[in-house]
Amino acid sequence: MHSALKNPTRFLTLVLFGAILAYSAELPYGGWIQIPILTLVWWGLLQFKHASLKHFLLAGLMFGLGYFVVGLSWIYISLHDVGKMNFLLSCTAVVLLSTYTAVFFALASLPLHFFKKDSFYTGCFLAASWVLIECLRGFFLTGFPWLGLAEAQVNGPFGLIAPYLGGLACTFLAVWSSWQLLHVRKHMVRSIAPVALVIIFVQIMGLWSFTKPTGSPLSIELVQGNFSQSLIFRPEGVMQQIDYYSNVMKRSSAELVIAPETALSWPDINLPSGTLESLQESVNQHHNTLLFGIIGRRINPEDGREFSNRALGLNSNVLPYQYDKSHLVPFGEFIPPGFHWFVNAFNVPLSDFSRGSMSQPPFMIVREGKGPLFAAITICYEDVFGGELAKRLRHSDKPTNLLINITNLAWFGDSQAPGQQLRLSQLRSLETGLPALRATNTGITAILGPDGQVIEQLPKFTQTSLIGSVQPYAGKTPYVILGNAPILTISFLFLLMGIIRQRRF
């Protein structure tokens, strides 16, 4: 028996390393902190380098399980606290999802097992494998790339590579640099010097900007209603929420007023009489623009689903704008075939939405006496798919000036989910070079600059509005123009080189 298998604490150590890695992302400078923790992970996995493939994959799975159980623990809140699912079943669901995602981490670590010759290039092979598997995680079964290594880099050394090569390049450099540090005791200069040089190079690259300010600042009001998700299951709670958001939007004099996902949380055909009409009258009176979440009626002839998760935009003298969420959350917003029994285990309505098109036009913001602006809309979970957003901007026939994300994270209570999604929004701003507006029900409502930095934000779980302004930008970053193709090509070539080298030795 291999020595690592005689000591089961080595498996538990990898679980612990994974848990610490997930927690570290929540800390200030989390992207810096994660790198030495990843170094410990590689050290732990190397204890299984000469074990069987089955046991090496199990070790990788233990690391991933620790990482995702901690990082995705907020799913328990939505299932148990909000959905009233049985405690044991809720815990089982979190562990099963974490196990599924951990499989990708185990597969991404395989170069440490197969590439027998340890060399300077091994870190490149490992990083390349990680990038390609993370890309696969974003596509397989509609994709669940949440909690990747890249988003922590908005507070780390490699975030500034994102406008050039996207978040996957941040992942590549984080994995590569952590592998380099593993050999610091044997080859201090050869380990640290390349990492230091790459960090300096990335910081220098960050001095260039591919987008520029355009026009005058836009006055905004981002409405945070702070309504408990449990209110959605009671008609009087729904009415209270609809009244609040409607009244705030009608009173506002800001040029752009945004309310969060499902702010008006009944289907548009069932809203109180005159709700949408009164909002349109307010827009005509104030000559401003409203954007808010609603349940839209949209019968999809492909799947027969009747309702959509919609953002509705109102301008004066312009037809209403509709954006239907295109990348839906499995089980949360659509039920995969054969799994209706699972969703029926807890009573959550409207969990099988129709899917919107992936090529919907941007939202036009009409300003009195000024030229229009255009915003790319995402709803909640869509903010995790940077490649899809870049593709929309690349193929848009209108210049995109800012990003808008509307979200309702009340499902997840006081957890790390709002902070995780804020970092995703920061990464999207970095990739596109555009400012972003985040309007959320319970937090984190924020204004982000084109460099991904938070300009202003509201405290979580407060009922108030963030009133301020945002400077529109114009232009396209290399990442928007080229997408993930360059980093995927680089990673593929590195992995191919690794396979060729392995055969030679």
- Catalytically annotated residues: 261, 325, 380
* 403: Cα separation from own chain's centroid: 14
- The amino acid that residue 251 corresponds to is R
DSSP 8-state assignment for residue 334 = B
Distance CA 401, CA 159 (A): 21
Find, among 419, 358, 420, the residue nearest to 384 by Cα: 420
Residues 6 or more apart whose CB falls under 8 angstroms from that of 465 comprise 221, 222, 223, 224, 248, 252
Find, among 351, 360, 262, the residue nearest to 305 by Cα: 351
Handedness of CA 177, 98, 425, 26 (dihedral sign): negative
Find, among 55, 198, 183, the residue nearest to 113 by Cα: 55
Cis amide prior to 35 (ω within 30 degrees): no
With contact defined as beta carbons under 8 Å apart, do 322 and 368 qualify?
Answer: no
Residues 6 or more apart whose CB falls under 8 angstroms from that of 444 comprise 418, 419, 421, 422, 438, 457, 458, 460
Reported as half-sphere exposure (CB side, CA atoms, 13 A), residue 40 has a value of 16
With contact defined as beta carbons under 8 Å apart, do 210 and 476 qualify?
Answer: yes
With contact defined as beta carbons under 8 Å apart, do 474 and 258 qualify?
Answer: no
Distance CA 76, CA 86 (A): 10
DSSP 8-state assignment for residue 213 = E
